[in-house]
Structure 1
Amino acid sequence: MKIVVPIMPKTLAELATIDERKFTAVDMIEWRADFMTFSELEQAARDVKIKFSKHEIIFTYRTEDKVETQISATDYAALIERFAADFDYIDVEKFTFPDVVLPENAIFSYHDFDQIPERLPDILSDMIAENPAVVKFAGMPRDFADVLRLMQDTLAASEKAPHQTFVTMAMGKIGQVTRLMGDEFGSSWTFATVEAASAPGQLSVADILTLTKILEN
């Protein structure tokens, strides 16, 4: 299971202060570009690629959970088109922006901050049908039964579409098991923290490595 760590600098100066040596145990970097102004994105993209040249990098411009992020469908599509070729993966909120064309390296992502939808199998099927590089779903469980259902639905989808890479997780404290046991139910990546968390329930890289080693023994 690959470990992905988000970085969320708000300015070029803040980006420059990130110590890349803290990320040596990490497989992938997710650059949350939505924390920066549009005017700095071009330079920031260059700086991120230089700083993390030894890592795979995801470009993400998140809007689903950020009311302060105002972007038109046209500008979002232009953003995806502009940066897709510059990074290993690009996160695309296809349900929010249905007219966006998915690049070959697209992560088709969908987040539900209220629930694990009962129709999750249908949602995953709809995402698979778009043929993205990665299908990513994160939802907020209301109880542990929701967590188990997410794991079961992911396993069923991964068995039905073995060619597809899945990344699924239940957010919050009761969903933390999904961040540790992904390989067991068909989820290939886990999102962890080095410094600030980008989603509720994220564990630190150190905790992921320690607990994974314990579970493997």
Structure 2
Amino acid sequence: MRRRTATVRGIELGRARPEIIVPLVGAYEDELLAQAEEAVGTRARIMEWRLDRFRPDLEDVEEHREAVIAALPALRAQLGPDRGLLATFRTTAEGGTRPLADLDLGILLEALVTGRRAGTQSAVDLVDIETARDPRTVQRVVSAAHRHGTVVIGSFHDMEGTPPEEELVEILRAQRRLGADVPKIAVTPHSPRDVLTVLSASLTVAEDLSGPHIAISMGPLGASSRVAAETFGSAATFATVGAGSAPGQLRAQDVAEMLELLRP
């Protein structure tokens, strides 16, 4: 039985070599576009726009949302037609840089996937929603994304530790039941055995053959999980061009070479 995949711009998540996702964390549009230009020069085929890192000078939720929507066409143009764009607002509860109420998070992400402003239609290929948010917000984002052909990454981050393997497996499976096309867990290890816990959970879920997922053990201790993705069934890994977005991320060029060297 062939494992199901998720496809954006001809990029098939869950098939063969894991994809490299590069976070774009520029605070202002010129910095964002410069980092995007550099990222396009790597083997990474998906870029993650970290919306919570953008325009830290704008505290008002509506002003920030308008700035994001206004910057989107230029970013999409910078990436070109062959790179996927993942929109992510990481809240402070899961390691992000600014808080956002569930209702406002839903409004922002729905605006991006529906292309409410001229020129933004189909600009976002994937959207991240934290599945621990209010269930109504999660369902709102999932439904809007699927109506507009946008792949949903349902994410869970534990910045303090690594839950037991059975709990990680259930989180990934529950995210898929919520409608996530690509469930994702990222947790913090305190021992090598914690890293093994994540890898084992990833392999268990991969054996479900229910679709792609992402499993990451963060920080320097978990760096091996970022390059062993293919062996243990994870469909993607995150790597940096310039500034990163999470502890333990490696350079995109180095990750590309290691993924090739470590192919099973």
- Fold-level similarity (TM above 0.5): yes
1:95 alignment counterpart: 132
2:176 alignment counterpart: 128
Cα gap change, 1:71/1:19 in structure 2, threshold over 3 Å: closer, same or farther?
A: closer
TM superposition shift of 1:35: 1.4
1:117 alignment counterpart: 163
Q: How does 1:37-186 map to 2 (within 5 A)?
A: 37=55, 38=64, 39-53=66-80, 54-63=82-91, 64-66=94-96, 69-85=98-114, 86-100=123-137, 101=139, 102=142, 103-104=145-146, 105-118=151-164, 119-160=167-208, 162-186=209-233
Contact 2:200 2:232 in 1 (8 A): yes
Greater relative contact order (Cα 8 A, min sep 6): structure 1 or 2? 2
2:8 alignment counterpart: none
Cα gap change, 1:78/1:196 in structure 2, threshold over 3 Å: closer, same or farther?
A: same
Contact 1:31 1:57 in 2 (8 A): yes
TM superposition shift of 1:212: 2.5
1:193 alignment counterpart: 240
Contact 1:107 1:134 in 2 (8 A): yes
Cα gap change, 1:17/1:208 in structure 2, threshold over 3 Å: closer, same or farther?
A: closer
Cα gap change, 1:92/1:19 in structure 2, threshold over 3 Å: closer, same or farther?
A: closer
**Aligned-residue CA RMSD in angstroms?**
1.7
The separation in 2 between residues aligned to 1:175 and 1:70, in whole angstroms, is 26
The separation in 2 between residues aligned to 1:199 and 1:57, in whole angstroms, is 18
Work out the number of aligned pairs and report it.
215
Instruction: Provide the identity percentage.
Output: 28
Q: How does 1:15-54 map to 2 (within 5 A)?
A: 15-18=32-35, 20-24=37-41, 25-37=43-55, 38=64, 39-53=66-80, 54=82
* Secondary structure at 1:131 match in 2: coil
The separation in 2 between residues aligned to 1:189 and 1:201, in whole angstroms, is 15
Contact 1:11 1:40 in 2 (8 A): no
Contact 2:182 2:211 in 1 (8 A): yes
Cα gap change, 1:216/1:75 in structure 2, threshold over 3 Å: closer, same or farther?
A: closer
The separation in 2 between residues aligned to 1:106 and 1:121, in whole angstroms, is 18
Contact 2:168 2:185 in 1 (8 A): no
* Secondary structure at 1:99 match in 2: helix
The separation in 1 between residues aligned to 2:71 and 2:226, in whole angstroms, is 29
Q: Can you give the 5+ residue segments of structure 1 that lack an aligned partner in the other structure?
A: none
Contact 2:153 2:181 in 1 (8 A): yes
Deviations 1:196-216 (A, max 9, x none): 111111110121122233324
Contact 1:23 1:194 in 2 (8 A): no
Q: Can you give the 5+ residue segments of structure 2 that lack an aligned partner in the other structure?
A: 1-17, 56-63, 115-122
Paired AA for residue 184 in structure 1: T
Contact 2:36 2:75 in 1 (8 A): no
Deviations 1:105-136 (A, max 9, x none): 21101100111111212212211211311101
